[in-house]
Amino acid sequence: MGEILLPLLILSPLAASLVVFVSAGRLSACAVGTLACTGVGMSAVISVILSVMLLSGPATGTLQVMLWPWIHIAGFSADIAFMLDRISVVMILVVTIVGLLIHIYAVSYMHDDPGIARFFGSMTLFIASMLVLVLASDLLCLFIGWEGVGLCSYLLIGFWYDTPANTAAARKAFYMTRMGDAALLCGLLLLATAAGSLHIGTVLAAVANGQVALSAVNMAALFILIGALAKSAQIPFQTWLPDAMAGPTPTSALIHAATMVTAGVYLIARLHDLFVMAVPVMALMAVLGALTLLMGACTALVQSDLKRILAWSTISQLGYMFLALGCGAWQAALFHLMTHAFFKALLFLTAGAVIVRTHHEQDIFRLGGLRHAMPGLAAAFITGASALAGVPLVTAGFYSKEMILSGVWAAHFRLTHEWTLSGHVLWGIGLLGAFLSALYIFRCVFIVFFGKSGTTATGRTSRLMTIPLSCLCVLSLCGGIIEMPMTFPPLHLFSALLDPTLPPSHADEPGWLVLVGAIVPLAGLGVAWVLWGRPSPIMREIPGQAAVIRFARTGGGMDVVYDHLFVQPFRFLTWLTRHDILDHAITGTGRLTQAVSTSVLRSRTGFLDILTLGGRRGIRSADHLLGQIHNGRVRWYAAWIVGGLCAGLAMAVLA
Amino acid sequence: MSPLPALVLLPIMGGGLAWLTERIQLHTATTSPPSRNASWWMMLATLIVETLLLAGITFGHPTRTGPWLEHFSMPWIPTMGIAVRLDLDGLSLSLIWLSLILCFLCACLATRQVTVKSGAFYFLFLMTLTGIIGTFVATDLFLFFFFWELMLVPMFVLIAVWGHEDRQRAALKFFMFTQGSGLLMLLSILGLVITHDRETGVLTFDYFALAQTPLSPTLSMLLMLGFFIAFAVKLPVVPVHVWLPDAHTQAPTAASVLLAGILLKTGGYGMIRFNVMLFPDAAIHFAPIAMGLGVVGVLYGAWLSCAQNDIKRLIAYSSISHMGFVVLGIFTGSRLGMQGAIIQMLAHGLSAGALFLIAGAIQDRLHTRDMHRIGGLWAAMPRLSASGLFFAVASLGMPGLGNFTGEFLVLLATWPVSPAIATLTTVGLVLAAIYALRMVNRVFLAAPRVDPLLLKDLPARQTAVFACVMIFLVVLGLYPQPFMIFSGPSPLSVTATTSREDHAP
Amino acid sequence: MHALALLAASVTIIGAIMVITRKVAVHAVLYLVVTLLALAALLVMLGASFAAMLEIIIYAGAIMVLFVFVIMMLNLGQSDSAREKEWLRPRAWLGPGILAAIVCAELLYCISPFSGSLPTIPPITAHDVGLSLFGRYVLMVELVSFLLLSGLISAFHIGRNWMEDR
Amino acid sequence: MPAFPFNDTVLLATVLFSVGLTGVLVRRNMVFMLMSLDIMLNAAALVFVGAGARWHDAVGQVMFLLILALAAVETAVGLAIILRLHAQGRPTLDADTGNLLQG
């Protein structure tokens, strides 16, 4: 049963994608939407069935399906093989259910776009690739999904390809993730060489029993980390994600918030046994995650584009996940991944609905007071915002963030004998980040939905859009209750789910941690209300002139730095070398040879040549001279006669 | 009776018939339109018969005694030890299949545009095919050289007569490079034969006999270099690649496809069959340099490809980059790398061939290859654009498609030899993404820049042909295992004896 | 050497030199007449009285009259003599002068052996001349008459065209 | 005996010839050239007469007559040409201008 359902899970969106692509232009928008939703819906149903099947089985049970051997050759083998374990269950549920909701939303959102078939084809293909990614039991197979989602992301960011900025953003996203992919490929090569296979189980076993040298483990972990960082838009690869908001909003919700960008988190969680062995890499991951979450939050605080705020917030939240992963809180990371998928999808979709109804106005300072025009959307957005901020007890974000913070608190890195990195510092950063999260998202809420009304909203949000929104609202409010902090004991469903596959983090955090974690988001909310929310807000707009603000708004200037450091030199160099230098060199050598041989030839024949040339010239000048003699003047003729006579006589006389 | 001579001779005879058909038609009547394409149908019929023959060879031997599928031998010039020796193993067979598939592609998609002296075009086209197939099956070095040169002449004429604006120069460049390097190979062949004659007293050009020649390391290295340079020019390896961009750019579409799809592969085939297998020790000594050249090729080709504005030139440079992988794979010295190189050759033949066809289709419609003047084709021609996107993505090494399998295997084989080289090569993959997507963005996406009236999408039949290639690529990417078992070159040590015994008269 | 002969010879030479150096054509004609008269005297001294008479009548008479008439018709004036002066620069003289001097010197060198003279013999009379002229050389006379006729015709022809052009 | 020895006759004739030659070469005016030619013809005639007297032969004077006729014809034709040229716009009678036969 499972052996059939698991391939079918991937096949149904894939088939939908193929049908949609092939029949492009022949099916109506409605039919295309239905087809895509059916494909994703089927896989959602299958994933629910599969998870029930798996969870009803033994705790360590996994569902392994080997479809066919991919490469079997001396010293190496790779298969097209899938595996469903408890980590993948979480992921397929998130991917298919959130994916389904977003698809349903998109049917309405995209219904009058001429390229709808391309859109849904790419979206369903994305779901299929993502499922391949999360289900693959072989790293090479995972890599197919890994690149596949990148390709779909490229197609969807550049969906409205008429605008050069969009396609540029798409290419940027693809290039930056591709760099990570190259690093990931290196990591895979290293592991494959060391372990002789890329089957995840085999690799992890080889690492665990010391078959792989520690330096190789560190290197591999580093390479894979780079790949994950690029995919998840962490420092130093963060710049592509804000630009990726050029795509349609459902794309941003599905790919650039809920699923694809979390692939890095999933990969590291999947390979946690490898990373446990690589302590420096873990520390690096935690530090980068912490930095990213701070940086993302700070940048989000000064953005004025609604979708960009959400994009930076995504980067920041992914930073949380990496922080958690770096600290070994695998479960927390996955938990946050799940809740983040819910509330960030909700936020994006709501933002999309708002943007559609305000005639594609994305600047939050031109919006305002939308609370009255669209109360439902306002409520949904506020729900999402609360979840993102982690408003205590009622939202999912609170629980997952709490889990991360408690996991981070306990972490401890022994990098060297003298130098250790305590989790407390990282915890502090995380807490600061939580405060900033509440601040920036409620800044957005207060500016957009409260205050003076800026734009006029028209139309109604269609039913097809509201259903997914309400579902996501429920999920982002209640999705967290399945895992309570240790301090409130009763419910630990999520960790119970993952305990067999992912080691639980240490749970001996002091009780006041939860309290602090609850107060800080509320404080952020309060400050936001003071600054932007009151009837006469203190700060209507952050002064955009200040250099630091402008600096922060561009994402720490990293774009500019990269542009000057890599893009421009690359462009210049390619421009410089656009004509093949070697070609020129060789052609030039050829020309030189030709010239030399010609001159050799000439010098060989030169003597004769000069002789004949000189002779000819002499004859011609003599000719000329004779011509001069025949000048037609009688007197000269006479003179010549006399001269001749002279000479003749002289000869006669002298003889 | 072995079907190999028929396999080799069929295309050229069919081509001659196609030419004759056209001549006769010209002389009799040109009134009825359906018979105007009689010579084209003749070519198609030739290809079909050839394919049937090949299918017969492929599937007609359920029980294989040795690794060599077919053998044919007939004395040619007995006093010199030259014979018509043809042998077929999995490597040859898979490359011949590739050739035929690409020829079908050209026949269906590219040759109909040839209106001037089309009969002669078909004849030369099929003559090139004969040369290629002959190269793949010849195991007599003299015969091999004969076929090697036979490929060049019709291709030269194809470029020089039916090419684009700068065709004469490109054709001359192509001819001079390949011909010059071919002479080096001839020297090496003669050197090997004479050495063999001195050592054993037997004057022969037989591949299997020559493989047993005892050689001093220096001599062996010298002879191998002669072969290597010839193959390196054909493949091409970077410092001697300069003929390729011009030739590919200026050639007519069908010739570009043949060049990129198959002619380059003869270089790879030669490296496997004659460099690594005839001179294994010298090849091992030479491997670091060759691998270095391979990496340079990967990076240099990709780099220059990033800077091109001419679509066909861009694809040509990307071919150089991909062929760098082939060199890298062949000289890793492991079976893994060689398999990777073979898969890479097959996949590149399909993807680059298809890309050239698409570029040709664009040029037929817009009469330009400049990417600055093309743009936004997706809206008007979605089928062509989608195919273009697919093959561009394939050529950037998307996992799940054939090119990735080849590249991955090559990298996997390279990593134990030198992680640094492998890491450098992955940079080539990033560059591949840059040039491929640059092309996609400029040509298919972007804002429309051309008159939409010019843009007629691919007909459904041609799309179906492209779809077949896509399926091949996907199969090669997802299920390469049968190809890898099937297409492995026969190890020499085994074959030399078994094939002798099997086919001894 | 007869003093008279010497005088005549010197007059001849001086006259010839004067002919070729004059700027005015009529002067030159007059000097030429003088030269020819002196030459006629010399011919008498050589014992050819008949020739001398012919010289005076035909040459100094008829031909010179022809010259004078032509010069009159040419209507030469001051400007022409100025131009002649212009053309008679020393540079123009030098080359031809040297050339002529060389020829003269060579001829003189050649004729130096003709020295010594035979004993006196009776001079040749018109009778002798007439005999040989109409005896042995009658054909020559006929030829000369043709020559004169052709000269007459050609001169007439050239002059007639000119008359018509007028 | 002749009053004028043959030697001196030849001497005189040579000088006279040279003077005439110089005139032909030097003068550009065609009238003067004709006169110089006459001088040269006279020099030649003088030699014939001298030689006839020296060897007592009538042929010398016969030749003199022929030369005389020749000179007459020459002068007549030459003067006619001069007149013609003068009438046709060559008032200077410059012999150097008639050089259309130059090579």
Q: pLDDT tens digit string along B423-438?
A: 999 999 999 999 999 8
Q: How large is the average pLDDT for residues B386-408? A: 90
Please state, in angstroms and as integers, the Cα–Cα distance from residue A118 to each residue in A175, A360, B355, B386, following that order: 22, 22, 21, 10
**Predicted local distance difference test score (pLDDT) of residue A489:** 62
Q: d(Cα D47, Cα C114) in Å, to the nearest integer?
A: 13
Is residue B493 over pLDDT 50? no
Say if residue C85 is in the same domain as residue C11: yes
Q: d(Cα B69, Cα B50) in Å, to the nearest integer?
A: 17
- Put simply, the answer to whether D25 touches A642 (Cβ < 8 Å) is yes
Contacts of D4 in chain C (CB under 8 A): 2, 5, 9, 42, 45-46
Task: Specify the DSSP element, H or E, that contains B391.
Answer: helix B382-395
Q: How large is the average pLDDT for residues B159-186? A: 88
**Predicted local distance difference test score (pLDDT) of residue B496:** 38
Q: How large is the average pLDDT for residues B94-110? A: 87
Coil, helix or strand at residue C157? helix
CA distance A599 to chain C (A): 51
**pLDDT level of residue B502 (50, 70, 90 thresholds):** very low
Torsion of CA A572, A574, A580, A581, to 10 degrees: 50
Q: B178 and B234 in contact (C-beta within 8 Å)?
A: yes
**Predicted local distance difference test score (pLDDT) of residue A609:** 72
Q: d(Cα A561, Cα A538) in Å, to the nearest integer?
A: 34
C118 in a domain, yes or no?
Answer: no
* CATH number of the structural domain spanning residue C27: 1.20.120.1200
How open is the CA angle B396-B397-B402, to the nearest 5 degrees?
Answer: 130
Q: Percentage of residues in chain B with pLDDT exceeding 90?
A: 22
- The separation between CA A458 and the C-alpha centre of its own chain, rounded to angstroms, equals 34
**Predicted local distance difference test score (pLDDT) of residue B355:** 92
- Give the residue from B176, B427, B148 showing the smallest Cα distance to B306: B427
Residue C152's Cβ-count burial label (10 Å; 0-12, 13-18, 19+) is middle
The one-letter amino acid at B495: T
DSSP for A580-639, please give it: -HHHHHHHHHHHHHHHHHHHHHHHHHHHHHHHHHHHHHHHHHHHHHHHHH----HHHHHH
Say if residue A535 is in the same domain as residue A630: no
Say if residue C85 is in the same domain as residue C162: no
Size of interface C-D (CB pairs under 8 A): 237
How open is the CA angle B60-B61-B66, to the nearest 5 degrees?
Answer: 155
Say if residue A500 is in the same domain as residue A593: no
B49 in a domain, yes or no?
Answer: yes
Residues of chain C with pLDDT under 50: none
Say if residue A588 is in the same domain as residue A511: no
Q: Which domain holds residue C2?
A: 1-98
Q: Which domain holds residue A636?
A: 581-654
A376 in a domain, yes or no?
Answer: yes
- When divided into structural domains, chain B yields a total of 1
Three-state secondary structure string covering B170-190: HHHHHHHHHHHHHHHHHHHHH
C75 in a domain, yes or no?
Answer: yes
Q: How large is the average pLDDT for residues B399-419? A: 90
Q: Which CATH number fits domain D6-94: 1.20.58.1610, 3.40.50.2000, 3.40.50.300, 1.10.287.3510?
A: 1.10.287.3510
- Give A 616-645 residues with CB within 8 A of chain C: 639, 642-643, 645
**Predicted local distance difference test score (pLDDT) of residue C25:** 86
pLDDT tens across A350-401, in order? 998 888 888 888 888 788 778 888 888 889 999 999 999 888 878 888 888 8
Q: d(Cα A227, Cα A182) in Å, to the nearest integer?
A: 7
Enter the tokens of residue A68: 């066919």
Q: d(Cα B460, Cα B109) in Å, to the nearest integer?
A: 12
**pLDDT level of residue D87 (50, 70, 90 thresholds):** confident
Q: d(Cα D59, Cα D64) in Å, to the nearest integer?
A: 8
Say if residue C48 is in the same domain as residue C94: yes
> Which DSSP letter does residue B74 get?
E
CA distance A643 to chain C (A): 7
* Optimal mutation site among A641, A649, A651, A654, interface C, most CBs of chain C within 10 A: A649
B505 in a domain, yes or no?
Answer: no
Say yes or no: A490 contacts chain D, CB-CB below 8 A: no
Within A327-462, residue ranges assigned H as helices are 330-357, 370-373, 375-389, 396-410, 423-449
Residue C119, φ and ψ in degrees, nearest 5 = -65, 160
C132 in a domain, yes or no?
Answer: yes
Beta-strand (E) ranges in A36-194? 63-73, 76-84
Side-chain-facing half-sphere of B496: CA atoms under 13 Å: 13
pLDDT tens across A299-322, in order? 888 888 888 889 999 999 999 999
Coil, helix or strand at residue B395? helix
Q: D86 and C74 in contact (C-beta within 8 Å)?
A: yes
Please state, in angstroms and as integers, the Cα–Cα distance from residue C31 to each residue in A510, C9, C18, C60, C67, following that order: 156, 14, 6, 11, 12
Q: Which domain holds residue B256?
A: 4-490
- Other beta carbons less than 10 A from residue A644's beta carbon: 10
> Cis peptide before C90, with omega less than 30 degrees from 0?
no
Q: d(Cα A597, Cα A589) in Å, to the nearest integer?
A: 12
Contacts of A642 in chain D (CB under 8 A): 21, 25
Residue B89, φ and ψ in degrees, nearest 5 = -125, -175
pLDDT tens across B191-237, in order? 999 988 888 888 888 888 888 888 888 898 999 999 999 999 988 88
Average pLDDT value for chain B: 84
Task: Specify the DSSP element, H or E, that contains B426.
Answer: helix B419-443
> Cis peptide before B154, with omega less than 30 degrees from 0?
no
Residues in chain D whose Cβ is within 8 Å of chain A: 21, 24-25, 28, 33, 95-96, 98-103
Q: d(Cα B158, Cα B153) in Å, to the nearest integer?
A: 9
Enter the tokens of residue B148: 């090697």
pLDDT tens across C101-146, in order? 888 888 888 776 555 555 566 777 888 888 888 888 888 889 889 9
Contacts of A163 (CB under 8 A, 6+ apart): A246, B447
> b/e map of C24-38 (b: 16 or more CB within 10 Å)?
ebeebbbbbbbbbbb
Average pLDDT value for chain C: 83
Residue B71, φ and ψ in degrees, nearest 5 = -145, 140
| CA atoms B458, B462, B464, B469: torsion sign | negative
Enter the tokens of residue A555: 């994402």
C72 in a domain, yes or no?
Answer: yes
B498 in a domain, yes or no?
Answer: no
- Considering only CB atoms, C13 lies closest to which of D1, D15, D86, namely D15
Contacts of C106 in chain A (CB under 8 A): 646, 649-650, 653
Contacts of B18 (CB under 8 A, 6+ apart): B39, B40, B42, B43, B46, B119, B122, B123, B126
**Predicted local distance difference test score (pLDDT) of residue C119:** 56
Task: Specify the DSSP element, H or E, that contains B106.
Answer: helix B90-109
pLDDT tens across A408-464, in order? 887 777 777 777 777 788 888 889 999 999 988 988 888 888 877 777 777 777 888
Q: d(Cα C38, Cα A646) in Å, to the nearest integer?
A: 29
How open is the CA angle A115-A119-A125, to the nearest 5 degrees?
Answer: 145
Q: How large is the average pLDDT for residues B360-388? A: 85
Coil, helix or strand at residue B73? strand
Contacts of C95 in chain A (CB under 8 A): 639
Coil, helix or strand at residue A80? strand
Q: B404 and B327 in contact (C-beta within 8 Å)?
A: no
Q: Which range (B450-454, D25-29, D76-80) has the least confidence?
A: B450-454
Say if residue A310 is in the same domain as residue A384: yes
- Put simply, the answer to whether D25 touches A626 (Cβ < 8 Å) is no
Say if residue A339 is in the same domain as residue A447: yes
- pTM of the shown model: 0.75
pLDDT tens across A43-82, in order? 999 999 988 888 887 777 788 888 888 888 877 888 888 9
Say if residue C91 is in the same domain as residue C129: no
More confident residue, B13 or A609: B13
Residue B75's Cβ-count burial label (10 Å; 0-12, 13-18, 19+) is exposed
**Predicted local distance difference test score (pLDDT) of residue B30:** 53
Coil, helix or strand at residue A68? strand
Side-chain-facing half-sphere of A595: CA atoms under 13 Å: 6
- When divided into structural domains, chain C yields a total of 2
- When divided into structural domains, chain A yields a total of 2
DSSP for A459-526, please give it: S---HHHHHHHHHHHHHHHHTTTTB--TTS-S-BHHHHHHTTTSPPPP----THHHHHHHHHHHHHHH
Say if residue A383 is in the same domain as residue A493: yes
Enter the tokens of residue A252: 């941003």
Residues of chain A with pLDDT under 70: 486-491, 505-509, 536-557
Contacts of D81 in chain A (CB under 8 A): none
Say if residue A608 is in the same domain as residue A537: no
Chains B and D touch (3+ CB pairs under 8 A): no
Say if residue A509 is in the same domain as residue A636: no
Q: B51 and B100 in contact (C-beta within 8 Å)?
A: yes
Enter the tokens of residue B146: 């004969």
Q: Domain end: A512, A542, A572, which one?
A: A542
Q: Domain end: A542, A572, A604, which one?
A: A542
Enter the tokens of residue A188: 């895979």
